[in-house]
A and B are shown apart, each in its own frame.
Chain A
Amino acid sequence: MRDYTPPAIGLLPWATATGMAMHGAGLSFAESMGMSIIVYGATAQLGTLPLLVSGASYWLIFCTALILNLRFLIFSATLSPVFSGTRRRVRCLAGYLMSDGVMAAFSARLLAEPDKDKRLGLYFGPSLMNWVIWQLFTVIGILAGASLPGHWPIGFLATISLLTLTTPMVSNMPMAAAAAVTAAVLIVLHTLPFRLGFLLAIIAGMLAGYVVEQYSRKDRHAA
């Protein structure tokens, strides 16, 4: 538990900002908490808020949330040995509770722990703590958002949260290429209907990152 304190502290501004952003987007207290408990994913919540506000179609909302959550496919594949031989219900719950913080702080120890019960404790302990802290600070965020004067740019908090996530990600050439190509394609194609430009930009960005990664690998081999 004590080992999980640093990632948990990083969670506080995020949860608060997400709560404020949901309030700022026009969700009621019950709706905000409903979203927070059903979805339980900051990026998916913050990323789909603009779509909910603009009344986008369900399939676009689904696709966007899915793309935002693709990283969990990798986490899920990485952690799957941890839950081998456990009940279906346990694995379902483990999936729902999965978070970036616990993954980052505990994946190595989880995979190295031979005892099944200890492994489950090591996963569910911090994960439940993460969930409780998240919901608690979401409530604080919603209440704080409601008490701020109306002209404050609360919606911008969502943008800031996303920036705090993306800025450290752009740490190498392929990542920078993915971001730059996504932005460029998005701006060029912003007039296309049904937000086609949005999905095309994401696909172009992913391919750009992949291609640059392959090229830089070849360079290293040649050198």
Chain B
Amino acid sequence: MLHDTAALWFAFIVIGLATTLPRSSFFMAPKKYQPSQHSYALLKYAPISALTAIIIPDVLYVDQTVQLLNPKILAALCTVLTILITRNPWLPFIIGTSALILLQSRL
């Protein structure tokens, strides 16, 4: 898809729609349509689930195969620890990337 410019721009529009539609949904909808208590409770867990599902393959796959112990997982753990310890917004990026570079050159 990256080599087909038209397909890529079409994908941007698809992603843009999937972003702007939920954002405008209840601004545009008639007043009587409001989400129920149960759907609120379910929707709350959508972001964490979707993000986990994106992160896991990112850190588990090395050259298309699953590796449970690899530099990316260890660097991700360093990143999580940094996030838990400090509130500085830049440090996770600095420490995570440094950890990955170090680990990749060692292993």
Bound: A65/B11 CA distance, A: 11
| Interface residues of A, dominant DSSP | helix
Q: Are B2 and A159 in contact (CB under 8 A)?
A: no
Specify which of A9, A62, A182, A183 is in contact with B17 (CB 8 Å cutoff).
Answer: A62
Bound: A210/B45 CA distance, A: 7
Residues of B6-25 contacting chain A, CB below 8 A: 8-25
Considering residues A9, A10, A67, A204, which has the most beta carbons from chain B within 10 angstroms of its beta carbon?
A67
Q: Does B28 contact A (CB under 8 A)?
A: yes
Residues of B37-62 contacting chain A, CB below 8 A: 40-60
Q: Are A167 and B80 in contact (CB under 8 A)?
A: yes
Residues of A59-110 contacting chain B, CB below 8 A: 61-77, 79-80, 83-84, 88, 91-92, 94-96, 98
Q: Does A198 contact B (CB under 8 A)?
A: yes
Q: Are B26 and A92 in contact (CB under 8 A)?
A: no
Q: Are A209 and B48 in contact (CB under 8 A)?
A: yes
What is the 8 Å Cβ interface bit string for chain A, positions 47-59, against chain B (1 contact, 0 not)? 1101011011010
Q: Does B1 contact A (CB under 8 A)?
A: yes
Bound: A66/B16 CA distance, A: 10
Q: Are B59 and A159 in contact (CB under 8 A)?
A: yes
Q: Are A206 and B15 in contact (CB under 8 A)?
A: no
Q: Are A10 and B89 in contact (CB under 8 A)?
A: yes
Q: Does A162 contact B (CB under 8 A)?
A: yes
A contact residues around B55 at 8 Å (CB): 159, 162-163, 166
Q: Are B51 and A165 in contact (CB under 8 A)?
A: yes
Q: Known interface pairs A13-B90, A52-B1, A163-B96. Does A182 touch B23 (Cβ–Cβ under 8 Å)?
A: no
Bound: A25/B58 CA distance, A: 13
B contact residues around A153 at 8 Å (CB): 97, 100-101, 104
B contact residues around A39 at 8 Å (CB): 12, 15-16, 19
A contact residues around B5 at 8 Å (CB): 31
The residue on A at minimum CB distance from B28 is: A91
Q: Are B56 and A186 in contact (CB under 8 A)?
A: yes
Q: Measuring CB to CB, which residues of chain B are less than 8 angstroms from any residue of chain A?
A: 1-2, 5, 8-29, 31, 34-35, 40-60, 66, 72, 75-76, 79-80, 83-84, 89-90, 92-93, 96-97, 100-101, 104
Q: With contacts A74-B40, A76-B27, A91-B27 known, what are 19 further pairs, Cβ within 8 A?
A: A10-B89, A38-B16, A40-B19, A44-B19, A47-B54, A52-B8, A66-B22, A69-B19, A72-B19, A73-B22, A74-B43, A77-B26, A91-B24, A98-B23, A162-B55, A174-B45, A179-B52, A209-B48, A214-B41
**Can you give 26 contacting A-B residue pairs, CB < 8 Å?**
A14-B89, A34-B9, A35-B15, A38-B16, A58-B11, A58-B14, A64-B50, A64-B54, A73-B35, A74-B43, A76-B23, A76-B26, A79-B26, A80-B34, A92-B28, A156-B75, A158-B58, A159-B96, A163-B92, A164-B89, A166-B55, A167-B83, A169-B51, A175-B45, A183-B56, A208-B45
